[in-house]
Amino acid sequence: MTLKPIAKVVAITPCWNEPLGMIQQFQNRIEEVRRRLNEKNIGFRHFFLDDGALELPDEGSILVRHQKNEGLAHTLVDGYEKTFFLKEGPDIVVRLDCQEHDPLKIIDIVDHLDHTTVGALFLPICYWFKDDPRPRMAEITQQIAVFTGALSPIRTEEVLANYNQRFPLGYQAWRIGLLRKLWPQLESSLGIFEDVAGSKMTWGLDLLAILLAAKEDPNKIDFLFGGWSPPWTENRGPDKIKAQADKAAKMIEVARRLGCTFA
């Protein structure tokens, strides 16, 4: 199969409470990505998704503006939709945060997608506790393999044991065709979640996007290590761990209602 070369890449970054210094450092690395992709004759644009952000520099390109905080899930749904109407439509859409995701990984994303037929690429970030030894790469690879094998059909226990417990998966890249196909389900998930949980969806759309992509075709998704995050310095206590697991479980129920199959 002949692959169409990637010519245009758009990256989007939701912002809410990130400090200005962090955003500016992130932008410096974004400019390095632009330079390196342009050297390969690949167009690159980056946009912030303003979710009632406390601080965003004036020079930042903003694709979505929320006057008040609407929550990450709503902001991402809006941001994905806006990418469909950009004058020069992208081949690839990358979703990343500025507090934990390395923009330079976009170079690796483009290279990976330029040589495979996958429609979505997910980049788990490794967390660990301060003063603990950093996990071995073999252990991380095994955890990713377990998670990947639990996506279609969904094995709930394995998904909950890994997602946001061992690593988060908010760093994602999409071919525009697959993203367009999944977007109506992502949009409808906002209302479904409110029906399931009795509250507005804040985060969890990233997990749902993975599950929906796996439902579409598990052979068309892939994983690429997203790098190391600085270790946690605060205590991630049992209450927080349980709250995150409860939210992920509600998102799995949303996936069920959207037609995902379960083991």
Confidence of residue 236 (pLDDT cuts 50, 70, 90): low
DSSP for the chain, written as a single string: -PPPPP-EEEEEEEESS--HHHHHHHHHHHHHHHHHHHHTT-EEEEEEEEES-S---TTS-EEEEESS---HHHHHHHHHHHHTT-SS--SEEEE--TTT--TTHHHHHHHHHTT---SEEEE--B--BTTSPPPPHHHHHHHHHHHHHTBTTB-HHHHHHHBTTTB---EEEEEHHHHHHHHHHHHHHHHHHHHHHSS---S-HHHHHHHHHHHH-GGGEEE----BPPPB-S---HHHHHHHHHHHHHHHHHHHHTT--B-
What percentage of the chain has pLDDT greater than the value 90?
A: 67
Kindly tell me the burial class for residue 117, based on how many C-beta atoms sit within 10 Å of its own C-beta (0-12, 13-18, 19 or more).
Answer: exposed
Question: Which domains can be identified in the chain, with CATH numbers?
Answer: 8-257 (3.90.550.10)
Tokens (6 digits) for 168: 């988060």
Q: What pLDDT does 27 receive?
A: 93
**Over 60: is that where the pLDDT of 38 sits?**
yes
Q: What pLDDT does 213 receive?
A: 98
pLDDT digits (tens, 9 = 90+) for 122-163: 999 887 777 788 889 999 899 899 999 999 999 999 999 888
The chain-wide mean pLDDT, for the chain, equals: 91
- Global pTM reads 0.94
Q: What pLDDT does 59 receive?
A: 61
- Between 232 and 118, the more confident residue is 118
Lowest mean pLDDT across 7-11, 214-218, 235-239: 235-239
